[in-house]
Amino acid sequence: MVNLNKRTVYTTVAAIALIALVSLIFYGTLKDEGRVTYSMIENAAALIGLEFTRAEKDSMLGDLNDLLNSYDSLRAIEMPNSLTPAIVFNPILPGMEFENKTNGFSHNRPTNIVRPENLEDVAFWPITKLAELIRTQKVSSVELTNMYLDRLRKYGPVLECVITLTDELALEQAKRADEEIAAGNYKGLLHGIPWGAKDLLATKGIKTTWGSVPFKEQVFDYDAAVVKKLEEAGAVLVAKLTLGALAWGDVWYGGKTKNPWNLDEGSSGSSAGPGAATAAGLVGFTIGSETWGSIISPSTRTGTTGLRPTFGRVSRKGAMALSWTMDKLGPMTRSVTDAAIVFNAIYGPDGEDLTVVDKPFNYNEDIDLSTLKIGYLKAEFDKERDQKAIDDEVLDVLWALGAELVPIEFPDFPVYDIAFILSAEAAAGFDKLTRSGDDDKLVRQKKQAWPNVFRQARLIPAVEYINANRARTLLMMEMETLFKSVDVFVAPTFGSGDLLATNLTGHPAVVLPNGFRENGTPTSITFTGKLYDEGKLLAIAGAYQNATDFHLRYPVLPEK
C-alpha cells in the first residue's frame, strides 16, 4: 500500500482538475459554443459521411455559428416561390449545333367537317376538327365553350379533376373570339378553342391553389406567360384543373383525381387534372408541367398524348417553381398533331424566363420515315413483362412505315443518385413553408411526400448538390453521344431510368397510347428526341399514331 501525505493528494487532485478544466474549455463543454456545438458537428459529419478531428471541429465552430446568423439574416428577406436563383441550367454542351432556319408549321387540314346534330358528340374531337368547325362558323366558340362547361360541371365532380371553373372569363373570351372571326380576323387553329390549365399557372384575379391547403386562397394579379400566349392565340380558358399538392401525385386538398378509364384508380400525377379532363372530353386541350414524369405519367394512365418540351423552350413565368433546373411546361392533348398545334402557340422567349432560348420550331406532319434512324432501347424491349407484345408491335409499325430501326443501349449512369437535385431545389422553393410549420397542412403526410422530403433536403450539403450537377454534365455528354447515331429513340414508358435521365438532361419526349390492357385501361410508348428538335420528334410520333387508332378510343363516363 502506498502512503501519500495530504499535500501530495491535494496537489494531484488539483492537477487533475486543472487538466480536466483545460480539456473542457478546449473541447467545448464549458466553452461558450453558441447554437452550434461540438456534438452537432460530430453528428452532422456522420450524416454526410465525413470525419473531422477535434482540432478541425474547434476551427469550424465559430464560423458555423456565424453562418447560422447569416441564415437568420437571409430568412428575413421575403423570397416568394416566383423568385428565381442567380443560377441558370443550360442543356447545351460546347460544340452542339442546332437548326436555326425557320421552315414553318405544316399540317393536314381535315375536310368535309359537318356539325353533328348533338354538339356534345364533338367533345372528344381533336383540335384540328374543332378548329375547322369554328373557322367555318358551323359552331360558335360560345356554343363550344358552353358544351365543355356543361361537361365540366357534370363529370368534373366524378373525376375530382376541377379546382375552379372560369366560366365568366371563358364566356367573355368566347364571345370575343366569335366577334373577331365574324369580322374576318381568324387568328389560327386555337382561336375559340376551350382549354384547361393545371392549377399551378397564375391567372389574374382567379385562384391559383397549387392543389394545396396552405395556398388554396392564393390569387395573383397577373397571368402566367403561357396563359397570356394562349389568350393571344384566341384560346378560351374554361377551368383550372387539379394537380397533386405542390405537384406530386394525384392527391390534392379536395380529393384524389380519378382515371376516366377506371374510377377505382387515380389518374397519376402531378398533371392529374389535365390528363383526366383531356381524356374525358371535358376540354379541347390542357397545359401540364413536368419535372420528373408529371406529363408522361398521367398521359400514360389516361391515354392522352403528352409533350414534354426541351428544357428552356416554354416560359415558366407565372408557374409554380418546383425545380428551376428541371421544370417544363407542355401540352396534353388527344393527338400528336394537337400537341404540335398547342406547342406552336406557346414556345419561344418572353423576356421573363431567362432559360428560354430562341430556336425555331419546324413541323411537317408528312414526314418520310425512310430517311430517318429511329433508335430503340433493345434491353428494355427484350425484357419479359406484361406489356411486351404491345410494345413490340410499335417497332413492327415503325418498320412497316419504312423507318430504319437501330438497337441502342441507354447510358449506364447512376442517375437516381443525383435525383436529390430536385429535392434540394424544391426545398428551397418552399423554404418558408417548412420553417413556418405550415407543411403540416398538406394532405399527404408520409415518408414519400413533400413535407418529409423538404425536411430531409435541408441536410443536403451544398457541395454535394454542386457535384451532382457536375455529374449531370457527364450524363448530358453521354446523351449527346447516344443521339449521334439516331434521330429519336423509342422506349417502353418507365423503362431503364430514361424518364429521370432525360428530365435531368432537358431532352424532349412525346408519350402516346399504344394499346390497352385486358381490363380496358390504356398503355403507352415514349419517343424521345434531340434538344430543340420537337418538330421531328412530333412528326415521327405522329406517323406512328396515324397508323394506329388507339388515340381515337375514349372512356365511357358514368353519370354523376
Q: Which of 140, 141, 198, 530 is catalytic?
A: 198
Active site residue 530: no
Active site residue 198: yes
Q: Which three cell numbers stand for residue 36?
A: 452550434
> How many Cα atoms sit within 13 Å of 471 on the Cβ side?
17
Q: Which of 140, 141, 271, 294 is catalytic?
A: 294
Burial 139-159 (b: 16+ CB within 10 A, else e): bbbbbbbbbbbebbeebbebb
Q: Which of 141, 212, 267, 270 is catalytic?
A: 270
Query: DSSP per residue over 255-296, as a string?
Result: EEPEETTEEEEE--SSSHHHHHHHHTTSSSEEEEEESSSTTH
Omega of the bond leading into 270 within 30 degrees of 0 (cis): yes
**Cα 266 to Cα 279: distance, rounded to the nearest angstrom:** 13
Q: Please name every residue paired with 374 in a beta bridge, in sequence order, or none if there are none.
A: 405, 488
> How many Cα atoms sit within 13 Å of 172 on the Cβ side?
5
Active site residue 270: yes
Residue spans of alpha helices (H) in 333-384: 336-346, 378-382
Fill in the DSSP letter of residue 495.
-
Q: Which three cell numbers stand for residue 43?
A: 453528428
Burial 296-331 (b: 16+ CB within 10 A, else e): bbbbbbbbbbbbbbbbbbbbbbbbbbbbbbbbbbbb
**Cα 74 to Cα 71: distance, rounded to the nearest angstrom:** 5
Residues labelled as active-site residues: 198, 270, 294
